[in-house]
Amino acid sequence: MKKIVSFFGEKNAVFERLNARAKEHAEKRGLEYKWAPQTPFNQQDVIEELKNADAGIIDIEPYGEDIFKEIYKSCKILTRFGVGYDKVDLKAASKYNIAVARTAGANTVGVAEMAMMLMLSAQRQLKKNMRFVSEGNWVKEVTHEITGSTVGIVGFGAIGQYVAKLLKGFDCNIIASDPYPNLKAAEELNVKMVSLEELFKASDTITVHAPYMKETHNLINLELIKTMKPSAVIVNTSRGNIINEADLYEALSQNIIAGAALDVFAVEPLPLDSPLLKLDNIILTPHTSSQTEESLWRIYEMAIDITADFFEGKESKHILNPDYKTQE
C-alpha cells in the first residue's frame, strides 16, 4: 500500500476531525494516510517524513532542490494543499522525477463567498462603522450599494467565475479581465471581457482573483489605482504581492479611492508595524478565505484522489510539471 503524509493543518478539533475523515477516504482509495502537521514548519522533519512516504500533501512553505534531492528515492508526488505554487521549484522537482500537483478548484466556494463578504463590507465601510459604535460616536456613514453597480473581476478562472455567479443575484453589471479569457463562461454568465485598464476605470467594486506569477507581481500599482473612481473599492483574496501595498496605502490615506479589503499580504502574518493597520477605510483578515470546513474537506479529498489516480497510472490535469517523467 502506498503511503501519503499530510503536513497541513493545526492540532485542533477541526483538523482532527478532517484528518480522521481524510484517513478513511485514503484507505478507500488504497492509500495509507499519516498526518504530521508542521506548525511551525521544520524542513528536516518534512524530509524525514517524506523519506518514508510515497507522496505528500504540502502547504505554502518553499520546496526546492534541498528537499527534493533527499526524498526522490521514495516520494514520487507532492500535492499542494490549495492553489498557489510559486514557492515550489517545479524545475528542480522535475529534475528528481517528482510530480507536483495542486488542488485547483477545491476552495472555489469558500474564497468566492469571502470575496463577496469583503466587497459588501468595504463598500459599506464596516470597519469605520464598527468603530463608531464602540466609541459611542453615533455617526451614520453614507456609503454605496453593490446592487445595480459595476463590479470588475481581475482573473476569470474558477473563483472569478463563481463570484460572477454569486453576483447575478445583485443585478450587477459584471466585467472581467484575463489574459486568457474563457469566452464561453463569460457568455454564459453575462460577463463582458475588457482590458485591465478599462476595468479599473469603469468599476465601482474590483475583486482580484488572478494567480501570482512574475507577470502579476505588483500588477496593481498607484498609477492604475488612480484611474479608479473616487467612490470605488478594491478587494484581494488572491495573493498579496499582486497589489503594491505601499501604493495602496498612499491611495487610501489620501482618499484617492473609498476603501479596500485584503485577505492576503506580501508578508504573512502582516507585520504589526504595517501602515495598513492605521487606516480606517480598509478591512484586513488573516488569509482565511478558504478556511471553511467544507472547502478544507474538498481540498483533502481532491489531494488524496490526485495521489491515488497518480499511482493508478491515470493522467491528471492537476499535475503542474508533466515533464517530471521525461527527465533522466
pLDDT tens sequence across 253-270: 999 999 999 999 999 999
Q: Would residue 287 show up in a list of annotated catalytic residues for this protein?
A: yes
Q: Three cell numbers at 119?
A: 466587497
In the prediction, which pLDDT does 98 show?
A: 98
Give the Cβ contact number of residue 284 at 10 Å. Answer: 16
pLDDT category at 7 given cuts 50, 70, 90 is very high
Residues of the chain with CATH 3.40.50.720: 2-106+291-326, 108-284
pLDDT, mean of residues 145-160: 97
Which fold, 2-106+291-326? Rossmann fold (3.40.50)
Choose the catalytic residue: 102, 239, 298, 318.
239
More confident residue, 117 or 87: 117
Question: Which of 49, 233, 256 is closest to 127 using CA atoms?
Answer: 233
Q: Would residue 239 show up in a list of annotated catalytic residues for this protein?
A: yes
Residue 323 has pLDDT above 80, yes or no: yes
pLDDT, mean of residues 154-183: 97
In the prediction, which pLDDT does 86 show?
A: 84
pLDDT, mean of residues 125-142: 92
Which fold, 108-284? Rossmann fold (3.40.50)
Choose the catalytic residue: 145, 187, 197, 268.
268
pLDDT category at 60 given cuts 50, 70, 90 is confident
Q: Three cell numbers at 241?
A: 504581492
Residue 31 has pLDDT above 90, yes or no: yes
Hey, which bits of the chain come out as E strands?
2-6, 31-35, 55-58, 77-80, 99-102, 150-154, 173-177, 192-193, 205-208, 233-236, 259-262, 282-284
pLDDT category at 84 given cuts 50, 70, 90 is confident
In this structure, the chain runs to a length of 328
Q: Would residue 268 show up in a list of annotated catalytic residues for this protein?
A: yes
pTM: 0.90
| Alpha-carbon distances, residue 12 vs 9, 27, 82, 291, 300 (angstroms) | 8, 22, 20, 14, 16
| Percent of the chain predicted with pLDDT > 70 | 99
pLDDT, mean of residues 308-312: 97
In the prediction, which pLDDT does 85 show?
A: 87
pLDDT, mean of residues 195-219: 97
In the prediction, which pLDDT does 327 show?
A: 55
pLDDT, the chain, mean: 96
In the prediction, which pLDDT does 88 show?
A: 96
pLDDT, mean of residues 14-31: 98
Choose the catalytic residue: 29, 124, 144, 287.
287
In the prediction, which pLDDT does 54 show?
A: 98
Residue whose entry in the numeric block shows the C-alpha cell 499582486: 242
Question: Which of 42, 39, 43 is closest to 64 using CA atoms?
Answer: 43
Which tens digits make up the pLDDT trace of 93-103?
A: 999 999 999 99
More confident residue, 153 or 86: 153
More confident residue, 323 or 83: 323
